[in-house]
């Protein structure tokens, strides 16, 4: 994973990285966001950790091509620091990110109890649910190699459609051990957080004729924005439970919100994403289906 997140630093506040494919011919948005927050982290005092990020996807990136991340220092206060990052490829703006960092403070600590979920060790390493999850990811993408996922069986089928909502539960972790660098673990969590949120917003909208992910489908998905609040530190190479739900969709958009928990039940992050949901125009080279 450290290799996947590698950034060159040719000039002050300028970083260069190469992003993997998500869908066919499209850079994976989670990779761009992970690189952007890591670039911002590299310009902040190491005693400060990111506590929130807010990003907007502006245009589609090309996989396996260099992306430039330009970091602007907005504020360095006594406790908080703010950075703005612009990601460009071939001169075009792909993504903008605002990330806020802070020093650790002693304060009262509380959070809600983790919802019930099977332990990841009780879930199969391979399943139809996992195959469906990977159906929208380019088969050659390193995402499949570096991330281990264990969807909770039945969620995609049930859909959680009571009262108009949709939900999923998924365990994930970075497949191999990572160094003890909190910035890398934050970036890795950001990398993984974009895997299924768009698909959850699309539950109930997808129409496919099979279960392998190969038939064409008529729904176009694209992330519009992505926000994460980091509540507590965690290791991304340990199992994390991602519980996410889509409370609404309409007007060509869908919203997904979720929480990330450690295996021991500690709430470590909250994720929100709005996604474009649009009927795809006819094409002679349709993308593989996203199977719900």
Considering the candidates 135, 217, 245, 273, report the single residue annotated as catalytic. Answer: 273
Considering the candidates 135, 193, 223, 249, report the single residue annotated as catalytic. Answer: 223
Active site residue 68: no
What are 82's strand-pairing partners?
A: 75, 100
CA 124/CA 61 separation, integer angstroms: 34
Contact 51, 99 (CB under 8 A): no
Cα–Cα distance list, 120 to 80, 117, 161, 226, 262 (Å) = 36, 9, 24, 26, 11
CA 147/CA 153 separation, integer angstroms: 18
Give the angle 274-279-285 at the CA atoms, nearest 5°: 110
Cα–Cα distance list, 153 to 117, 126, 128, 130, 165 (Å) = 10, 11, 9, 9, 18
CA contacts within 13 A on the Cβ side of 26: 17
Considering the candidates 194, 217, 245, 246, report the single residue annotated as catalytic. Answer: 194
Active site residue 166: no
C-alpha closest to that of 94 among 284, 226, 213, 196: 226
Active site residue 273: yes
Tokens coding 57: 């996807």
Q: Active-site residue numbers?
A: 194, 223, 273
């Amino acid at each position: 994973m450290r290799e996947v997140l590698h950034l060159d630093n040719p000039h002050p506040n300028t970083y260069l990285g190469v992003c993997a494919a998500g869908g066919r011919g499209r850079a994976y948005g989670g990779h761009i966001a992970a690189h952007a927050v890591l670039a911002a982290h590299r310009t902040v005092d190491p005693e400060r950790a990111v506590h929130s990020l807010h990003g907007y996807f502006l245009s589609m990136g090309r996989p396996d091509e260099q992306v430039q991340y330009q970091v602007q220092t907005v504020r360095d206060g006594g406790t908080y620091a703010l950075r703005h990052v612009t990601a460009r490829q071939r001169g075009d703006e792909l993504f903008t990110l605002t990330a806020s960092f802070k020093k650790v403070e002693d304060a009262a600590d509380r959070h809600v109890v983790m919802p019930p979920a099977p332990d990841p060790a009780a879930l199969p390493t391979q399943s139809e649910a996992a195959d469906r999850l990977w159906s929208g990811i380019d088969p050659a993408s390193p995402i499949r190699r570096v991330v281990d996922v264990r969807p909770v069986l039945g969620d995609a089928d049930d859909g959680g459609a009571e009262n108009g909502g949709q939900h999923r539960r998924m365990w994930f972790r970075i497949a191999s051990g990572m160094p003890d660098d909190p910035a890398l673990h934050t970036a890795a969590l950001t990398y993984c957080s974009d895997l299924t949120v768009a698909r959850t917003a699309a539950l109930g909208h997808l129409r496919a004729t099979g279960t392998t992910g190969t038939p064409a489908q008529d729904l176009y998905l694209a992330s519009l924005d992505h926000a994460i609040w980091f509540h507590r530190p965690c290791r991304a190479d340990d199992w994390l439970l991602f519980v996410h739900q889509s409370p609404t969709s309409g007007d060509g958009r869908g919203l997904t919100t979720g929480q990330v928990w450690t295996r021991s039940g500690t709430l470590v992050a909250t994720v929100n994403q709005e996604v474009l949901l649009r009927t795809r125009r006819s094409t002679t080279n349709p993308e593989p289906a996203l199977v719900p």
